[in-house]
């Protein structure tokens, strides 16, 4: 009984160390793209790294974060992925819930730029994953200043949301696959009715500002 | 005679079916235009008559193309039934009609941005300070060197070759010979048409190894050979092509830096490099 308890606590200790190592690798950017490749995790943590990531994912739940797996290109496996498929995938940590408009502004996104990104991503999804750049520019140009449109698309490409091929066709890139719940976005867009007012939480924000003033 | 006529008719029908299937495979025709049940009935009808191998081949080819069309039909159904499918026109209309602010609100509810941190550590700070201490001041680094007076003279071709400024062979010839050497080495010592990278570039001297690595890089860049890298096992193989692949030289490739240090060469010589 004693031996079993010692064995169990040793295993727990090994897993705890692996979870810490996984945290370091996932949170701290080492390459051009955030996150880490599966084979790097395999090398550092061993072949049971998917289990380690499940444990980490559990920990992150309470912090409203999650471990996200981005498979190669768009080849998301239908069944449970094999270890080889995991090795080729990229892993990163994303927010589990969603941001309010105020928080989005805090992380450096202007409303125009976010709207442009939303429209570009939705349009490309509507065109079965690829669209001509000039079509996207035309669409964005209806509501955004002309000089901003090209700059914004280049920015989305630089950040990894979109990618462009030699024929000026835009596709969704790795960051969109990692960060955007495409199904949810399309469902909400189709169900949305045209509104005239901004759907934010004005009462909540005013409440927070009043709270801050009272504590000061 | 009747049977010969029937056979000819059957062959023509199968040929037409194959052409139709190929047009569908080339995506120029809707896959659902083909009635698979009817086609199978036709194939079944003529199958008992086939005796010659060519006719049986034609029958097999028809089934093969039919299977491809069925696969295309199933992919179409799969796409329509996946959660991302929706009428593109409707979606486009929604995108145009939805105000910018509403678009942002919807997007925020579907957006889960990546969380990443940047932090300097004690280790990197100490490395940086060590680097700073060894760094020579700019005033010394950018010092203008007093050029020594050198007498003008001429050098012969042999002297230039001796100093390795000129090669004694045309570079393309040298590359071709190196490629042949790679193919022979792979045939003799390689496995599955490839050889470990270091086993090929390794030479008796470090300078020789660097020269071989230099030529190998050209072999790969110009499509004479390719690299196979296994990052998990930390193995690297070089695989020669039978004919140079010109497409590789024309496409924009990726750069793979390979460190050929003296220490690595010495490890290889001692047999410690796996």
DSSP letters for B231-263: TTTTEEEEEE-SS--HHHHHS----------HH
For chain B, how big is the Rg over CA atoms in Å?
33
Q: Across residues A80-93, what is the average pLDDT?
A: 89
Residue showing tokens 């030529």 = B215
Cα distances (angstroms) measured from residue B35 to each of A165, B10, B17, B66: 37, 18, 11, 10
What's the pLDDT score for residue B49? 85
Residue showing tokens 């040929």 = B15
Backbone angles phi, psi at B39, to 5 degrees: -60, -45
Highest mean pLDDT among A5-14, B51-60, B110-119, B249-258: B51-60
ipTM score above 0.85: no
pLDDT, tens digit, 9 for 90 and up, residues B47-64: 888 888 988 999 999 999
Q: Give the H/E segment covering residue A184.
A: helix A182-191
pLDDT, tens digit, 9 for 90 and up, residues B95-137: 888 888 888 889 999 999 888 877 777 777 888 888 888 888 8
What's the pLDDT score for residue A187? 85
Q: Across residues A96-117, what is the average pLDDT?
A: 85
Q: Give the H/E segment covering residue A82.
A: none
Write out the residues of chain B at the interface with chain A, using a CB-CB cutoff of 8 A: 83-84, 86, 88, 90-92, 94-119, 231-232
> Cβ contacts (< 8 Å) between A196 and chain B: which residues?
99
What's the pLDDT score for residue A210? 44
In the three-class reduction of DSSP (H, G, I as helix; E, B as strand; rest coil), residue B195 is classed as strand
What is the separation, in whole angstroms, between the first and last Cα of chain A? 58
Q: Which of B90, B104, B114 sits opposite A34 (nearest CB)?
A: B114
Q: Across residues A134-149, what is the average pLDDT?
A: 89
Residues 74-133 of A with CB under 8 A from B: 87, 92-101, 104, 107, 111-112, 114-115, 117-119, 121-123, 125-128
Cα gap A67→A92, rounded to integer Å: 6
Work out the pLDDT band at A211, boundaries 50, 70, 90.
very low
Look over chain B and give the mean of its residue pLDDT values, rounded to a whole number: 84
Beta partners for residue A164, in sequence order = A170
Closest Cα to residue B229, out of B203, B268, B255?
Answer: B255
pLDDT, tens digit, 9 for 90 and up, residues B2-36: 578 888 888 899 999 998 888 888 765 677 888 88
- Among A47-51, B155-159, B209-213, B225-229, the minimum mean pLDDT is found in B155-159
pLDDT, tens digit, 9 for 90 and up, residues A31-70: 778 889 999 999 999 999 999 999 999 999 999 999 999 8
- Among A71-80, A135-144, B148-157, B249-258, the minimum mean pLDDT is found in A71-80
Cα gap B113→A160, rounded to integer Å: 12
B152 φψ region: left (φ > 0), alpha (ψ -120 to 50), beta (else): beta
How many CB atoms sit inside 10 A of residue A177's CB?
19
Confirm if B56 and A87 have CB atoms less than 8 A apart. no
Task: List the structure tokens of B97.
Answer: 């009609």
> Cβ contacts (< 8 Å) between A78 and chain B: which residues?
none
Cα four-point dihedral sign A149, A155, A160, A163: positive
Q: Could you tell me which residues come within 8 angstroms of residue B234 by beta carbon, excluding any fewer than 6 positions away? A: B274
Does the pLDDT value for residue A206 go beyond 60?
no
What's the pLDDT score for residue A18? 93
B-chain residue closest to A126, CA distance: B88
Cα distances (angstroms) measured from residue B91 to each of A15, B27, B54: 47, 24, 51
Cα gap B194→B186, rounded to integer Å: 6
CB within 8 Å: B91 and A189:
yes
Shortest CA gap B271–chain A (Å)? 23
Helices A146-159 and A111-126, axial angle in degrees (round to 10):
70
Task: List the structure tokens of B234.
Answer: 């930390």
In chain B, the percentage of residues whose pLDDT exceeds 90 is 26
**A161 or B163, greater pLDDT:** A161
A-chain residue closest to B84, CA distance: A183
């Amino acid at each position: 009984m004693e031996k079993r308890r010692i064995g169990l606590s040793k295993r727990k200790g090994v897993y705890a160390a692996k979870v810490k190592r996984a945290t370091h690798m996932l949170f701290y950017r080492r390459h051009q793209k955030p996150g880490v490749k599966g084979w790097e995790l395999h090398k550092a943590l061993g072949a049971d790294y998917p289990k380690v990531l499940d444990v980490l994912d559990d920990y992150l739940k309470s912090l409203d974060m999650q471990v996200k797996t981005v498979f190669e290109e768009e080849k998301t496996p239908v069944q449970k992925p094999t270890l080889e498929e995991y090795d080729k995938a990229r892993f990163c940590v994303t927010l589990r819930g969603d941001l309010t408009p105020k928080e989005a502004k805090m992380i450096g996104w202007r409303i125009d730029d976010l709207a442009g990104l939303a429209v570009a991503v939705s349009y490309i999804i509507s065109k079965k994953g690829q669209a001509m750049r000039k079509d996207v520019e035309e669409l964005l140009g209806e509501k955004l200043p002309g000089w901003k449109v090209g700059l914004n698309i280049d920015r989305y490409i630089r950040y990894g949301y979109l990618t462009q091929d030699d024929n000026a066709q835009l596709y969704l890139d790795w960051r969109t696959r990692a960060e955007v719940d495409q199904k949810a976005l399309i469902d909400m867009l189709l169900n949305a009715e045209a509104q005239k007012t901004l759907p934010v939480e004005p009462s909540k924000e005013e409440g927070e500002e009043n709270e801050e003033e009272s504590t000061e | 005679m009747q049977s010969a006529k029937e056979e000819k008719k059957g062959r023509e029908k199968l040929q037409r079916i194959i052409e139709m299937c190929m047009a569908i495979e080339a995506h120029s025709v809707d896959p659902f235009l083909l009635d698979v049940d009817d086609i199978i009935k036709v194939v079944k009808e003529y199958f008992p008559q086939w005796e010659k191998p060519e006719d049986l081949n034609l029958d097999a080819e028809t089934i093969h193309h039919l299977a491809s069309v069925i696969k295309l039909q199933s992919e179409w159904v799969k796409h329509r039934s996946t959660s991302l499918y929706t009428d593109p026109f409707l979606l486009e209309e929604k995108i145009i009609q939805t105000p910018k602010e509403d678009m942002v609100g919807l997007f925020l509810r579907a957006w889960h941005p990546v969380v990443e941190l940047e932090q300097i550590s004690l280790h990197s700070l100490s490395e940086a300070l060590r680097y700073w201490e060894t760094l020579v001041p700019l005033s010394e680094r950018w010092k203008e060197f007093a050029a020594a007076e050198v007498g003008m003279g001429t050098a012969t071709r042999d002297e230039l070759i001796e100093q390795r400024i000129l090669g004694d062979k045309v570079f393309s010839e040298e590359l071709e010979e190196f490629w042949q050497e790679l193919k022979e080495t792979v045939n003799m010592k390689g496995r599955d048409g490839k050889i470990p990278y270091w086993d090929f570039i390794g030479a008796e001297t470090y300078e020789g190894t660097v020269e071989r690595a230099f030529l190998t890089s050209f072999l790969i860049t110009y499509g004479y050979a390719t690299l196979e890298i296994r990052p998990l096992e930390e193995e690297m193989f070089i695989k020669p092509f039978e004919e140079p692949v010109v497409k590789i030289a024309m496409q924009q490739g990726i750069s793979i830096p390979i460190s050929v240090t003296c220490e690595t060469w010495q490890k290889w010589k001692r047999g410690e490099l796996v």
